[in-house]
Amino acid sequence: MTHALEATALWKLYQADESTVQAVRGVELTVRNGDMVAVMGPSGCGKTTLLNILSGIDEPSSGNVSVNGSPLYGISDNARTDLRAEHFGFIFQDFNLLPVLSAVENVELPLLLLGQQPSDARKEALEALDRVGLSDRAEHRPAELSGGQQQRVAVARAIVHKPSIILCDEPTGNLDTSTSNEVMTLLKAMNSELNTTFLIVTHDREIAKQCQRIITMSDGLVVQDQRKPGGEEE
């Protein structure tokens, strides 16, 4: 079976003055297609470092990662960039929207970078905004939107090119409880309807409880891996 993500013997070491920090230590991880996985743990436990390695942002010191069966490392930088552009969408805590662009311009940007025709990119961006309930805010810039609306724009940007995997780093960290639940409802709908795989780094246990599986890290290690009843591997 080909999995959405597969990590083997992942290590990430950093040199800090005269000491070596083991940020990720021998992590083995398999995420099946259509899973919604939360990664939890205290600050400094290695969860964001792991996310960065799984996404191709930060190379491991050793170990391997495959994305839908294709190796993420041991390939050229251009090949890795293409692989990430094809398979991944990203949602961040700070939204990372370009302030000088409107909502629809922010959403269509990944498609333009992939070489899509502007007219087609605009159409698909508007469809993505409609999916997250913001078709009436398409021409608004980020400063004219609430935090929840900005995160919905970020979700639209993440899904516009129809990636198979969306990686989220504290996607509700800057939102109040009500808005956080709205965003999670949106993500769960995409997971259910489109079979999109989600890997969500979060400190919020209430957010994690809404996922099918919770991975807990401590000191660079996976110390617990829980799947909800009924969500076992087939």
Residue 70 lies in a domain: yes
- What would the DSSP string read from start to end of 93-120? TT----TTS-HHHHHHHHHHHTT--HHH
Q: Is 222 helix (H, G, I), strand (E, B) or coil?
A: strand
pLDDT tens by residue, 196-230: 999 999 988 999 999 999 999 999 999 999 998 75
List, for residues 28-77, the tens digit of each pLDDT value: 999 999 999 999 998 889 999 999 999 999 999 999 999 999 999 999 99
* CATH code of the domain in which 180 resides: 3.40.50.300
Which one is predicted more confidently, 24 or 174? 24
> What integer pLDDT is reported at residue 91 of this predicted model?
92
pLDDT digits (tens, 9 = 90+) for 112-159: 988 999 999 999 999 999 999 999 999 999 999 999 999 999 999 999
53 in a structural domain:
yes
Q: Is 233's pLDDT higher than 80? A: no
Mean predicted confidence (pLDDT) in 83-111: 93
User: Using 50, 70 and 90 to split pLDDT, how confident is the model at 18?
Assistant: confident
Question: What average pLDDT does range 164-179 have in this prediction?
Answer: 90
pLDDT at 230: 59
Determine the average pLDDT of the residues in 99-106.
Answer: 97
Indicate whether 86 pLDDT > 70: yes
Q: Please report whether residue 108 resides in a domain.
A: yes
DSSP codes, 169-217 = ESTTTTS-HHHHHHHHHHHHHHHHHH--EEEEE-S-HHHHTTSSEEEEE
- Per the domain annotation, does 233 fall within a domain? no
Give the model confidence (pLDDT) of 66-77 as tens digits: 999 999 999 999
Residue 229's pLDDT is: 76
**What is the predicted pLDDT for the residue at 225?**
94
Within a domain: residue 162? yes
Question: Helix or strand or coil: residue 65?
Answer: strand
pLDDT of 102 higher than 80: yes
Instruction: Tell me which residue range forms the domain holding 49.
Output: 5-24+32-226
Total domains in the chain come to 1
* Residue 49 domain flag: yes
CA–CA distances in Å: residue 28 to residues 95, 117, 184, 230 = 29, 40, 27, 23
18 in any annotated domain: yes
Q: What is the mean pLDDT of the chain?
A: 92
Q: How far is CA 148 from the centre of its chain?
A: 17
Q: Is residue 200 part of a domain?
A: yes
